[in-house]
Amino acid sequence: MTSYDLIVLGGGAGGLTAAAGASSLGAKVALIEKDEQPGGDCLHFGCVPSKALIKVANDIYKAGRLEEYGFSRSGHVKMDKINERIKHAISSIQEHDSIERFEKMGVDVYTGFGSFVSKNEIAIDQKVTIKGKRIVIATGSRPMVPQIEGLKESGFLTNKTIFNLTKFPSRLAVAGGGPIGVELAQAFARLGSDVTLIEREPRLYGKEDSDAAELAQSLLEKELNLRFNASVKKVEQHNTEKKITLEYKDGSAESIFADHILIATGRVPNSDNLFLEKAGVKTDNRGMIKVNGHMQTNIPTIYAVGDVNGALPFTHVASSEGQLVVQNAVLGLKRKMDYANMPWVIYTDPEVFHLGETEDELKSRQAIYHVYKTPLNEVDRFVADHHTDGFVKILTDRKGYILGAHAVGEGAGDFMQEVVFAKQQKLKIGSLSQVVHPYPNHAAAVQITSNSYWREKLFKGIVPKILKRYISIFR
């Protein structure tokens, strides 16, 4: 039986980061991936294909607005051309995640399904067994398919299958208003589909700051048919279309028709079939593997990173957890994961950026805080671009330390990065006003927001009186 310093189960973002990092430190590493090529859901079915689709959709949408300048367009979307572009993006990035690349790093890559035999033994397809001092579970998650009458019989799409469409849907129903649901719903709407988004809650962007959620939803309402407080009760196939029966929380019902229905109602962890009981690893009632701040399960030599641990379901979070595990599992350190400084972005247009606490969360814990907010119509570059829908909002404590930051705007995921750095480095909001931006620049929105902090300090309270007295003496 071959022994390793570290065995990694799963070749997604978290697993690949852990395997590469451990190998670079000289550890003997095994990587087990059930698919033919590593990369995980993000590369093959999630982040990469969805962002490639969003880019095409936004290009086409903006091309349509050229009519304002006397241009015209004609024709219809060709799904095969879109699929070609998506596949090209995947294949280009796949080179960085390929088996060959990891083997060159010194990682032993096994293709097959790994499961526990004991707390330090893993069987691959129940044929080959290997042994590891430490084991990292990075098996990710998959779409959660709810029990809906007629759904399986009528057929449905998930984020794993929607990119296989060969014919563009003229009507699309999307069940679920989370990040996957809203991103794909807007993309298909901009490509020309009549999209109905079905959400069981009373609003979209449920985890976002209320100001951001309200604005982003109001903009989406111009492009999508939104149904709130609603669930899909039944799906029936009628010739080439689906009849979808919705049930509302007030007891009323409605039927809508679509060519396809996309199920985006959440994710379930890929923890089943791992035979975790043989290793004694505990999960919660959803199947999420419980971990401590060091990413350790209840078995100290077994770690879990990424979607499977139920923390934050984002690729960059999985990668950060993978980096932490290398330090703890390979070097024996006791570093803890810090989610307080972990940002995320919902890639609708405009983008919705999130960092730290929301204003509602601060109110709920009765925190004393300050709000600094700048609408994008006060930022010259956004005015020049005619993209003024949005704002930057930074929340601080009394001393100016950043508690949360939120933004809605084109490219918000990019121009808000200096705020992430400031919060991670425990810098005050005032430090952001010292950053020099080339004019005109989108990130000036952050600078203008931070400038309001100094205006508050300089023109309120005792400081203005002291300055006035000083200037009179200086003269």
159 vs 302: CA distance, rounded Å? 30
Residues that constitute the known binding site for NAD(+):
176-183, 199, 266
- Rounded distance, CA 217 to CA 350, Å? 10
Instruction: Give me the CATH code for the 151-266 domain, please.
Output: 3.50.50.60
Which residues does the annotation place in the binding site? 51, 114, 139-141, 176-183, 199, 266, 307
Distinct helix (H) and strand (E) counts, the chain = 16, 21
SS3 sequence, 268-299? Answer: EECCCCCCHHHHCCCECCCCCECCCCCCECCC
Q: What is the pLDDT along the chain (475 residues), one digit of tens a residue?
A: 999 999 999 999 999 999 999 999 999 999 999 998 899 888 888 899 999 999 999 999 988 877 778 887 777 888 989 999 999 999 999 988 999 999 999 999 999 999 999 999 999 999 999 999 999 999 999 999 999 999 999 999 999 999 999 999 999 999 999 999 999 999 999 999 999 999 999 999 999 999 999 999 999 999 999 999 999 999 999 889 999 999 999 999 999 999 999 999 999 999 999 999 999 999 999 999 999 999 999 999 999 999 999 999 999 999 999 999 999 999 999 999 999 999 999 999 999 999 999 999 999 999 999 999 999 999 999 999 999 999 999 999 999 999 999 999 999 999 999 999 999 999 999 999 999 999 999 999 999 999 999 888 776 666 666 767 777 787 6
Integer angstrom CA distances of residue 78 from 81, 83, 163, 192: 6, 9, 13, 11
Spell out the CATH class of 3-142+268-330.
alpha beta
Say what angle helices 179-191 and 210-220 make with each other, to 10 degrees.
Answer: 30
Say yes or no: do domains 3-142+268-330 and 151-266 share a fold: yes
Task: Supply the DSSP symbol for 115.
Answer: E
Q: How far is it, in rounded angstroms, from Cα 202 to Cα 211?
A: 15
- Chain-centroid distance of CA 234 in Å reads 29
Domain boundaries, the chain: 3-142+268-330, 151-266, 350-459
Q: What is the CATH number of domain 350-459?
A: 3.30.390.30
Give the annotated binding-site residues for FAD: 51, 114, 139-141, 307
| CA 320/CA 441 separation, integer angstroms | 30
| Angle at the Cα of 464 from the Cα atoms of 458 and 469, rounded to 5 degrees | 140
